[in-house]
Amino acid sequence: MTHATESEVAEAAKHLRSLNAGLNQVLFGKQELIDLVIAGVLARGHILLEGLPGLGKTELVKGLSKLLHLSTKRVQFTPDLLPGDITGNPVLQEVDERREFVFQPGPLFANIVLADEINRASPKTQSALLEAMQEQRVTVLGTTHQLPAPFFVLATQNPIELEGTYPLPEAQLDRFLFKLDVARNDIDTLQRIVSDRELGAEPQVDPVMTAETFTSLLELTRRIFLPEVVANYIARVVDATHPGQSAAAKGIRYGSSPRAALALASGAKARALMHERVNASFEDVKAIAPAVLRHRIVLDYNARVEGHTTGDIIADLLTEVPFQSNATPKVLGAGS
């Protein structure tokens, strides 16, 4: 596979700036969140957005689908939602003068699936997403159906302390590339919302690129160069999340899996492209590490009692694990 060139990266950056500007018209005052969402989709990953109701999580996802001109389906997760309601079901129909079951695709058959309030559905329904998120296909009554490409699940969830929510299974959490926290708005942002928005009115945005252009950006992201020393740094960061492997891990019961290492590599490449660089760097890994690791680390009882959070431990871990000493990433073309 040939590595990305400076001219390709520069051209891609123009499209990404337009996408960034469009999302900033949808969601005010959330630049860091928007940057991570763009990096997540460039890395072909699923994203989990967590925050209190009314902070714009759903509008962000809807705005992204409009700007990318991709097919979108929304599923409102509720306690009575069944797996077949999202994957689709066979329906008895008349075919060539005889009755037979014909598969009717569910809302999973779209480029972007908005799983709204995903933690309000039962664990059985949540687990129905596992195959789709990992293998981009669903199996119903022994028959496998391929999902459209590209395929992303962008899920929103309320904090688990709210009434009527179910914790997501660890296996499903691991399928999300990023888990992003959506914080409340500051006073200036609230004032802008009050001045520029009306209750019940959706932000109006137009597509900034074709589906074909977006697909080419996904391919270009894969071709961003990952230096060997950066890959080594990723491996050391993930290893340090396991008990006994670092001082910061003393409050961790279970560390991250190899899927976390792959997520760090993909996310670092995406961030490098967004910053118009042809190679991923240590800083790219460090910038996206909290979003990749926060839902892949399980704290032990003592750490929770003492008030430690995964965010605190990840920050300590990133401080403890150094960039490889006496080694400089090999750079293709322009600098970092």
Report domain extents, the chain.
Answer: 225-323
From residue 278, give the alpha-carbon distance in Å to each of 40, 213, 258, 270: 18, 19, 25, 10
Angle among Cα 33, 150, 210 to the nearest 5 degrees reads 80
* Cα distance from N-terminal residue to C-terminal residue, the chain: 22
pLDDT in the model for residue 163:
65
Q: 336: number of CA atoms within 13 Å, CB side?
A: 17
Pick from 250, 233, 244: which is nearest to 318 by CA?
233
Instruction: Please say whether the beta carbons of 102 and 93 come within 8 A.
Output: yes
Give domain 225-323's CATH number out of 3.30.470.20, 3.40.718.10, 3.40.50.360, 1.10.8.80: 1.10.8.80
* φ, ψ dihedrals at 106, nearest 5°: -90, -175
pLDDT in the model for residue 334:
42
pTM over 0.95: no
CA–CA separation, 259 and 253 (whole Å): 18
Helices (H) and strands (E) in the chain, counts: 14, 11
CA–CA separation, 215 and 221 (whole Å): 10
Identity at 163, one-letter amino acid code: E
pLDDT in the model for residue 264:
97
Is cis: bond before 150, omega within 30 of 0? yes
pLDDT block averages, 10 residues each, the chain of length 336: 90 95 91 95 94 83 90 90 88 79 88 90 82 86 87 86 73 89 87 79 84 94 95 95 88 90 97 96 96 92 86 92 64 45
